Amino acid sequence: SLADIGAKQFPFIPARYLLLDRYDSLQKIAKVDEKLRIVHGSKDNLVPIALGKELYNAANEPKEFITLEGVGHNDVSLDAIADNIIGFTNAR
């Protein structure tokens, strides 16, 4: 959730209490009933990979978790993951 990210990035600020909209990803992902692939960079400093794995664990099957080694939050190359995305969407 956005509150979880805020708490990780700014532990000295009570972000949970300041946010009007919670963006509760864990609650929403439990309602997804489609094939799901979560892709997360191993060096993501904005959204820690532990939160990505928590989201994955809350999701229904079928699901996959892909870790992009050495990749951060905004430095992923579309060329590097294009085949992965195309393969996933074509397999549906």
Domain spans of the chain, in order of start: 2-90
Query: Could you tell me which residue, 76 or 35, shows the higher pLDDT?
Result: 35
All residues at 6 or more sequence positions from 30 whose CB lies less than 8 Å from its CB, including other chains: 58, 59, 60
- Each residue of 53-62: pLDDT tens digit? 999 999 999 9
pLDDT given at position 88:
83
Average pLDDT of the segment spanning 28-47: 92
What does pTM read for this prediction?
A: 0.71
In CATH, 2-90 is 3.40.50.10540: no
- Each residue of 8-24: pLDDT tens digit? 666 666 666 666 666 78
pLDDT given at position 19:
62
Alpha-carbon distance 13 to 9, whole Å?
9
Please count the helices (runs of H) and the strands (runs of E) in the chain. Answer: 5, 2
